[in-house]
Amino acid sequence: MTNSTFTPETTPSSVHATDSDTGAATAATSTTTPTTDTTSPAGPAAQTTAYPTGMPFPTPAYPAASQTAYPGGAAGAPAAPGAPAAPQPQYYPAQPKTNVLGIVTLVLGILGFGLVPVITGHIALGQIKRTGEDGRGITLAGLILGYVTLAGWLIVAFFWAAIAAVAVIGSAAGVN
């Protein structure tokens, strides 16, 4: 029993190569014809492929530098776009935290506590300067509201003190 295997011989085919000096396309032809090998003792595992010796492998064809690789493309552009790049994760710098004591200062300033937002506001401004936290604006707003409230309280206190002084002076003058 004989097994037949095919060994490629040369057949007509046209392969385009590019001359590296001129960039011109050249054609190389080779011919291969299948032959039957009747001396092979084994089956498909023993099949071998023989290549002709002495012939160089054809070089792949590349477009010349002056040709455009695709319609509307610029000269020297790649023939086909590569695989799309995976989207790179975008890292944003960490935002500084807002000073909590600055928030407390603003809330207490809005609510009308006079002396407490002034004290907490100055402490918060020192912390913000030292640590670089956010919240300087809201701390200043709370501090200003605290000073305005404190000034309002002082005006009201002086007003009531003046009324009390007039009442005391009036009652003292009326007792005589």
153-168, pLDDT tens digit by residue? 999 999 999 999 999 9
Average pLDDT over residues 84-93: 81
Q: Let me know: does 121 contact 99? Beta carbons within 8 Å.
A: no
pLDDT at 14 over 50: no
Average pLDDT over residues 119-124: 95
Mean pLDDT of all residues in the chain? 74
In angstroms, the CA 113 to CA 143 distance is 11
Average pLDDT over residues 86-92: 82
Average pLDDT over residues 58-65: 64
Task: Please give the C-alpha separations between residue 158 and each of 28, 109, 154, 170, in angstroms, as whole numbers.
Answer: 110, 21, 6, 18
The structure's pTM equals 0.45
Strand extents, DSSP E, the chain: 5-7, 10-18, 25-32, 35-37
* pLDDT above 70 as % of the chain: 52
* pLDDT score at 64: 60
